[in-house]
Chains A and B, each alone.
Chain A
């Protein structure tokens, strides 16, 4: 049984690696252009990436995901240990950590925060912590988590945003009677142990964060992080305007650069066009139920799905949609996901094979079907337009339906869609989350597709209790083999996070799970 134990390295050593040889400069306010605003800054009750990806600048978790997303690093806990049976975690808390309002973090705060995160009545992330039975504090610097069953993912789960530590007393002092009401009040002016704290927030326009003077981590120069005095998020929904604002020097960073413009910005010598590795996968989700409503569903024929897969020229799609930035998928999960397996792109383009498979299927003469894409999303539209062309070659007439997100989710959840464009990013550095949604039918019917494999379901249940990493990797490899060969998707490509930064910005990064990390960012004057 592997035993995790990391001695308390000084933060400076850990963090120093990412900073270049350039002389570090402190101070200044960095402005970062976002495409849309956050909604709700509560770690437990939030619902969306727009919150998740910046929450970690305000709140800390006990354990932190590493920069490459593959390993775990100390954060509010300096060391941790999972017992041999895999059902009890012991964590040592960092000494002297204070919240941004100056009050010291205590075991009370930790016990309360973790209990709240795992409460099945709270939010939509609690299933990540479903194994937690009880959180206790044997002494003033130790946390003991007892689990209902052995859980190989528990340490990774403690690095996920929803287990961030919040100040119990300040939260409970908020007006309101329920946890939800208190959270709504608290999130207007959140208090955490993170590198920054919220100063002001004008919805849909700007969010101003300032340096947390009580932050615990040390910078390369031996003084506390963050290097920046402040961090302002400006909401600039239009891609072209966001880029223009960056080029004119009004802002120092811009997220979600359209792939079509990556090459252009790479050539701009005033900018750094960053492509941070991500866990993002893009695919087409196929409804495989024999009947959709009262009509027969040709997509339920596995031969048809294979034909469709072979008829899709992934390299061409990577070219016209991502302008060469993406890479064809080698499994349904991204290569950055732990326990990913597979080395060659799935279903290499082979039109002859596709035609032969169609001829063997129940629909040799082809059929009509449809795909739901998100209205206004150019990438999905371009993908669907390309698919329309490619599938016409095997007699499939594809109707593209552009709908808004809520309409699509509605049809998706009801299982009345034919196909939809899909994208996924992991929230936890483990293969289990994506697998549970994609392949394990009890979660959401395998992407609401109606696909089911008893072997996959069995393997997944086993993997959730398997404490031997090698055996667990084998289980996931087998799941991936089955799903990749016969699953309800057209795997397309994985893409990095395209972020453009002013040349003066150093030390900023986005981890594969999406978190934007600003605590080590600094600006050259």
Chain B
């Protein structure tokens, strides 16, 4: 199948997904106990204030009307205004989402750099000391809560050694990368452990499989076997897993963002849920959905390239 039409079809398929998400998020945020007014006004609001502000926000209108307003705002690309911050939702997303994208991309890169070579080494040294050490180390990385790792990294490499800033985001691209290195490393710990374990196991599986034995019997040099057969075949499930993990990272790095004081989309999302800021939750969910779908598309393309049999 030609690449362009594959991509086009996938993008078209995105539309029903987005409509589904649109409906779910709209319903879900309204199922949450409480409403934006009591979330913002807190304990001191009088009943009259709550009523008046609900009216001002249009929250006294029927759900159907509210949904109509929401859908209209999505199609005009305006997404409404934040209830608590009183700025356009698009402005907030434009400010926060790129930060999270950069953080996730850096985490993914660091994780791959750590995991892929070590997975190969561990697989080839299967059962020996190197294998045990590598797996033990990744296991510890996987088992530590992110705020724990984060705080240790901040204390050692930030406060003590001064190699990296103690949290924050900085100004300009170079500074952003510098600021985001430690949080990205924190995220990479668990991500790389997942990838390493999966890839190691897959490599062992492929190496053991008959066709590699067969190729070896035919006398193809082992380096070539590794590259052509092993890597390609072993990466299939790993890439699928990698895509999924990146997807969850994009919207779920909230604790890392909190510990490192990175003003990313995860924190905006949680603050907005807690604040019942319906327009922000809705808009950000849609934006994240598009972004994650694109990530999936990329990993699917890569998977198809690895193994043409996967693509139809």
Determine direct contact between A and B, CB below 8 Å. yes
- List residues of A whose CB falls within 8 A of some B CB: 39-40, 47-48, 121, 123-124, 127, 180, 184, 187-188, 202-205, 234-238, 240-242, 244-245, 247-248, 250, 403-413, 422, 437, 443-444
Chain A residue at minimal CB-CB distance from B38 = A409
Q: Which residues of B contact A188 (CB under 8 A)?
A: 87
Q: Which residues of A contact B260 (CB under 8 A)?
A: 238, 241
Main SS class of interface, B:
helix
B16-50 at interface with A (beta carbon < 8 Å): 32-36, 38-47, 49-50
Q: Are A244 and B34 in contact (CB under 8 A)?
A: no
B86 contacts chain A at the CB level, 8 A cutoff:
yes
Q: Are A406 and B274 in contact (CB under 8 A)?
A: yes
The 5 A-B pairs at the shortest CB distance, nearest first, are namely A406-B34, A410-B34, A406-B39, A205-B263, A204-B263
Query: What size tier do the contact residues of chain B reach?
Result: 35 or more
Chain B residue at minimal CB-CB distance from A187 = B86
Q: Which residues of A contact B267 (CB under 8 A)?
A: 204, 237
Choose, from B133-141, B161-169, B221-229, B242-250, the stretch at the interface: B161-169
Known contacts A203-B85, A234-B261, A235-B261: does B46 contact A407 (CB below 8 Å)? no
Known contacts A184-B86, A404-B274, A406-B39: does B166 contact A250 (CB below 8 Å)? yes
B103 contacts chain A at the CB level, 8 A cutoff:
no
Q: Are A124 and B46 in contact (CB under 8 A)?
A: yes
CB proximity of B261 to chain A, nearest CB, Å: 4
Q: Which residues of A contact B154 (CB under 8 A)?
A: 241, 244
User: Which of B92, B167, B169 is close to A241, meaning CB atoms less than 8 Å apart?
Assistant: B167
Chain A residue at minimal CB-CB distance from B155 = A244
CB proximity of A234 to chain B, nearest CB, Å: 7
Known contacts A203-B263, A235-B261: does B84 contact A407 (CB below 8 Å)? no
B56 contacts chain A at the CB level, 8 A cutoff:
yes
> 0/1 per residue, B112-127, Cβ < 8 Å to A?
0000000000000000
Q: Which residues of A contact B263 (CB under 8 A)?
A: 202-205, 235
B83-100 at interface with A (beta carbon < 8 Å): 84-87, 92, 95-96
> 0/1 per residue, B259-298, Cβ < 8 Å to A?
1110100011001011110000000000000000000000
B258 contacts chain A at the CB level, 8 A cutoff:
yes
CA distance A324 to B52 in the complex (A): 43
Q: Are B44 and A124 in contact (CB under 8 A)?
A: yes
B301 contacts chain A at the CB level, 8 A cutoff:
no
User: Which of A205, A235, A403, A405 is close to B42, meaning CB atoms less than 8 Å apart?
Assistant: A405
Q: Are B168 and A234 in contact (CB under 8 A)?
A: yes
B147 contacts chain A at the CB level, 8 A cutoff:
yes
CA distance A297 to B304 in the complex (A): 64
CB proximity of B71 to chain A, nearest CB, Å: 23
Known contacts A245-B166, A407-B33, A409-B42: does B274 contact A236 (CB below 8 Å)? no
Q: Are A406 and B86 in contact (CB under 8 A)?
A: no
Q: Are A236 and B85 in contact (CB under 8 A)?
A: no
Q: Are A124 and B41 in contact (CB under 8 A)?
A: yes
Q: Which residues of B contact A202 (CB under 8 A)?
A: 95, 263
Chain A residue at minimal CB-CB distance from B275 = A406
CA distance A184 to B83 in the complex (A): 11
Q: Which residues of A contact B50 (CB under 8 A)?
A: 413
CA distance A407 to B49 in the complex (A): 18
Q: Are B259 and A405 in contact (CB under 8 A)?
A: no
CB proximity of A235 to chain B, nearest CB, Å: 7
Q: Which residues of B contact A248 (CB under 8 A)?
A: 158-159, 162, 166
User: Which of A238, A241, A410 is close to B33, meaning CB atoms less than 8 Å apart?
Assistant: A410
Q: Which residues of B contact A204 (CB under 8 A)?
A: 96, 263, 267-268, 271
Determine which residue in A205, A236, A245, A413 has the highest number of CB atoms from chain B within 10 A of its CB, and name it.
A205
Chain A residue at minimal CB-CB distance from B274 = A404
CA distance A123 to B56 in the complex (A): 11
Chain B residue at minimal CB-CB distance from A126 = B49
User: Which of B43, B56, B84 is close to A409, meaning CB atoms less than 8 Å apart?
Assistant: B43
Q: Are A444 and B167 in contact (CB under 8 A)?
A: no
CA distance A66 to B46 in the complex (A): 29
CA distance A109 to B248 in the complex (A): 52
CB proximity of A427 to chain B, nearest CB, Å: 9
Q: Which residues of B contact A247 (CB under 8 A)?
A: 159
B306 contacts chain A at the CB level, 8 A cutoff:
no
CA distance A250 to B151 in the complex (A): 16
Known contacts A203-B95, A406-B35: does B46 contact A127 (CB below 8 Å)? yes
CA distance A234 to B259 in the complex (A): 14
Q: Are A411 and B33 in contact (CB under 8 A)?
A: yes
Q: Are A238 and B258 in contact (CB under 8 A)?
A: yes
Known contacts A234-B261, A245-B167, A437-B44: does B159 contact A405 (CB below 8 Å)? no
Q: Are A410 and B35 in contact (CB under 8 A)?
A: yes
CA distance A234 to B169 in the complex (A): 10
Q: Are A241 and B46 in contact (CB under 8 A)?
A: no
CA distance A240 to B167 in the complex (A): 11
CA distance A250 to B42 in the complex (A): 33
CA distance A242 to B167 in the complex (A): 9
CB proximity of B8 to chain A, nearest CB, Å: 36
CA distance A482 to B158 in the complex (A): 55
Q: Which residues of B contact A240 (CB under 8 A)?
A: 151, 259
Chain B residue at minimal CB-CB distance from A39 = B84
CB proximity of A342 to chain B, nearest CB, Å: 23
Q: Are A203 and B169 in contact (CB under 8 A)?
A: no
Q: Which residues of A contact B155 (CB under 8 A)?
A: 244
CA distance A187 to B155 in the complex (A): 37
Known contacts A48-B40, A203-B263: does B45 contact A124 (CB below 8 Å)? yes
CA distance A409 to B260 in the complex (A): 30
What are 7 residue pairs bridging A and B, where the CB atoms are less than 8 Å apart in the complex? A40-B85, A47-B40, A234-B168, A241-B151, A250-B165, A408-B34, A422-B43
Q: Which residues of A contact B46 (CB under 8 A)?
A: 124, 127, 443-444
CA distance A42 to B39 in the complex (A): 18
CA distance A244 to B159 in the complex (A): 7
Q: Which residues of B contact A121 (CB under 8 A)?
A: 52
Q: Which residues of B contact A406 (CB under 8 A)?
A: 32-36, 38-39, 274-276
Knowing that A404-B273, A444-B44 are A-B contacts, what are 11 other residue pairs whose CB atoms are under 8 Å apart, sorted by A's residue number?
A40-B85, A40-B86, A188-B87, A238-B259, A241-B150, A241-B151, A244-B154, A244-B158, A406-B38, A409-B38, A409-B41
CA distance A188 to B267 in the complex (A): 21
Chain B residue at minimal CB-CB distance from A36 = B271
CA distance A204 to B151 in the complex (A): 20
Chain A residue at minimal CB-CB distance from B84 = A39
CA distance A430 to B227 in the complex (A): 78
Q: Are B38 and A241 in contact (CB under 8 A)?
A: no
CB proximity of B85 to chain A, nearest CB, Å: 6
User: Which of A127, A238, A408 is close to B261, meaning CB atoms less than 8 Å apart?
Assistant: A238
Q: Which residues of B contact A409 (CB under 8 A)?
A: 34, 38-39, 41-43
Chain B residue at minimal CB-CB distance from A407 = B33
